Amino acid sequence: NNDVGILAMEIYFPPTCVQQEALEVHDGASKGKYTIGLGQDCMAFCTDVEDVISMSLTAVSSLLEKYQIDPKQIGRLEVGSETVIDKSKSIKTFLMQIFEEHGNTDIEGVDSTNACYGGTAALFNVVNWVESSSWDGRYGLVVCTDSAVYAEGPARPTGGAAAIAMLIGPNAPIAFESKFRGSHMSHAYDFYKPNLASEYPVVDGKLSQTCYLMALDSCYKRFCAKFEKFQGNPFSLSDADYVVFHSPYNKLVQKSFARLYFMDFLRNASSVDEAAKEKLAPYSSLSGDESYASRDLEKTSQQVAKQLYDAKVQPTTFVPKQVGNMYTASLYAAFASLIHNKHSELDGKRVVMFSYGSGLTSTMFSFRLRECQNPFSLSNIATVMDISGKLKSRHEVTPEKFIDNLQLMEHRYGGKDFVTSKDVSLLSPGTFYLTQVDSMYRRFYSKK
Ligand code: ACO
């Protein structure tokens, strides 16, 4: 099979959101802490009528409809999510409702879970299926869906919510460069969800940043080694047109790109110019641990990498800044931002992707983009996703209302025997929503 990859995408995020500027005031944080310090503009969240199941139902049914894909043409469906609604029944089985209606129950795949990495695991599974001898010629489908909510405290402004659906098959406009992959997996307690009675994670924020950057280093080294092995020449940031990062908050993305630039400097790569070399020279003898701790290095590398950041990363940051951390969907929402911003100038471009899930699991991999025929053209993907339209029709709520909503959701989490507000006034037509959880914990959804 040639050029296996992503043929089509759809993104859904809740229409309800809170401005980071307003949250700063509400939380008594210093001005600019969330907007400049974290680099975030706005944060989406689910009200009581939405959850990871309703969002994924919406994303999948909209994708099938807008690209005119017959549901019988799907042979594998995998979901990545870290939002636990049921410890046994997969989100995938809820999505089967869409396919059963059309007489298709012959669909492999279940859910993958490890923090923000589950979507990448699901994507690799489906791509591997299409490349394997058990492929039956039908499309694969991957769904990343999460609602990121945190207990009161410094992590709360790094929430968000979204679902992304991706259609997988051969001859794709977003094709995997399958040989170039570097992973780093290890045991860490940086962010985890041991309390099954709560939706909130336990998080060691500072440790999670360091774990993320160490994983990034390690993946980059392995990615570069694979590239050199199969391509015959060394890899540097000059070989990547765009770099897309898992995006819990934008500041970490800025630091991550600066870190890659510093890695290129240490490897004496061609992407680093003479002026930058001079500025980075004082840090060349730092040990690994010292280099993660050095604030001066962080600042200097961000400064010297700024121009490349603006060209190779900035176009990928739009949706994550507006919607927040979408956990499994964050990396793919960042990628969707690139399609949104640059769809007409992406033919032949290489995009390097970095996926990170706490705990921890991480992989760096790459896509080669190609102009394809409709409906699977990059410009049609941008049109279908309609990111501007979706952002424009959002409804901003006050921090007080946002907190009230979180309290209601805390109370409802793991509960049974309730009906929701069924307030769908803000949802666009075609959106699925939760109506009821009955005395047997069975969940019921309707479509607006
Ligand atoms: N104006 C501008 N910048 C400011 C201001 C201000 N008024 N006040 C603070 N800042 C800056 C700080 O200098 C810092 O930036 P820097 O790192 O470049 O120096 C930044 O704002 C954050 O402030 P801190 O005090 O360092 O950190 P805080 O206690 O607010 O916590 C954290 C931030 C750790 C990211 C927290 O939000 C968190 O735990 N989030 C969840 C964990 C997470 O997302 N980890 C990422 C990988 S794992 C995952 O994806 C879930």
DSSP 114: B
| Residue 362 alpha carbon to ligand 1 centre in Å | 21
168 forms beta bridges with 6, 140
pLDDT of residue 295: 96
Tell whether omega for the bond before 375 is within 30 degrees of 0, i.e. cis.
yes
pLDDT digits (tens, 9 = 90+) for 243-271: 999 999 999 999 999 999 999 999 998 89
Q: In terms of residue numbers, what domain contains 428? A: 5-447
| Residue 248 alpha carbon to ligand 1 centre in Å | 10
pLDDT digits (tens, 9 = 90+) for 360-372: 999 999 999 999 9
Ligand 1 close to Cβ of residue 116 (< 6 A): yes
pLDDT digits (tens, 9 = 90+) for 153-192: 999 999 999 999 999 999 999 999 999 999 999 999 999 9
SS3 state at 284: coil
Report the CATH number at residue 189.
3.40.47.10
Ligand 1 close to Cβ of residue 188 (< 6 A): no
pLDDT of residue 414: 94
395 forms beta bridges with 16
Q: How confident is the model at residue 307 (pLDDT cuts 50, 70, 90)?
A: very high
pLDDT digits (tens, 9 = 90+) for 135-149: 999 999 999 999 999
**Cα-to-chain-centroid distance, residue 26:** 27
Ligand 1 close to Cβ of residue 27 (< 6 A): no
Q: Give yes or no for residue 397 having a pLDDT over 90.
A: yes
- CA 156 to ligand 1: nearest atom: 37
| Residue 38 alpha carbon to ligand 1 centre in Å | 5
CA angle 127, 129, 135 (to 5 degrees): 130
Section 212-230 average pLDDT: 97
Which has more confidence, 336 or 1?
A: 336
Q: How confident is the model at residue 22 (pLDDT cuts 50, 70, 90)?
A: very high
- For atom 9 of ligand 1, the residue with the nearest CA is 33
Q: What ipTM was reported for this prediction?
A: 0.98
| Residue 254 alpha carbon to ligand 1 centre in Å | 12
Section 370-381 average pLDDT: 97
Ligand 1 close to Cβ of residue 117 (< 6 A): no
The neighbour count for residue 196, using CB atoms within 10 Å, is 9
Q: Give yes or no for residue 286 having a pLDDT over 90.
A: yes
End-to-end CA distance of the chain: 39
Give alpha helix (H) positions in 155-283: 205-231, 250-266, 274-280
Q: How confident is the model at residue 77 (pLDDT cuts 50, 70, 90)?
A: very high
Ligand 1 close to Cβ of residue 207 (< 6 A): no
pLDDT of residue 206: 95
Ligand 1 close to Cβ of residue 155 (< 6 A): yes
Substitution site in 25, 31, 33 for ligand 1 pocket (most atoms within 8 Å of beta carbon): 33
pLDDT digits (tens, 9 = 90+) for 420-441: 999 999 999 999 999 999 999 9
pLDDT digits (tens, 9 = 90+) for 47-73: 999 999 999 999 999 999 999 999 999
Looking at the annotation, which residues are catalytic? 82, 116, 246
The neighbour count for residue 134, using CB atoms within 10 Å, is 10
pLDDT of residue 167: 98
Give alpha helix (H) positions in 267-329: 274-280, 288-293, 295-304, 306-312, 318-323
pLDDT of residue 321: 98
| Residue 52 alpha carbon to ligand 1 centre in Å | 26
- For atom 45 of ligand 1, the residue with the nearest CA is 208
Q: What is the mean pLDDT of the chain?
A: 97
* Element spanning 8, H or E: strand 5-12
- CA 358 to ligand 1: nearest atom: 48
* Element spanning 366, H or E: strand 361-369
| Residue 204 alpha carbon to ligand 1 centre in Å | 12
pLDDT digits (tens, 9 = 90+) for 398-424: 999 999 999 999 999 999 999 999 999
Count structural domains, the chain: 1
pLDDT of residue 227: 97
* Of the candidates 78, 202, 235, the residue with the CA atom closest to the CA atom of residue 142: 78
Task: Note whether 164 and 332 are within 8 A (CB).
Answer: yes
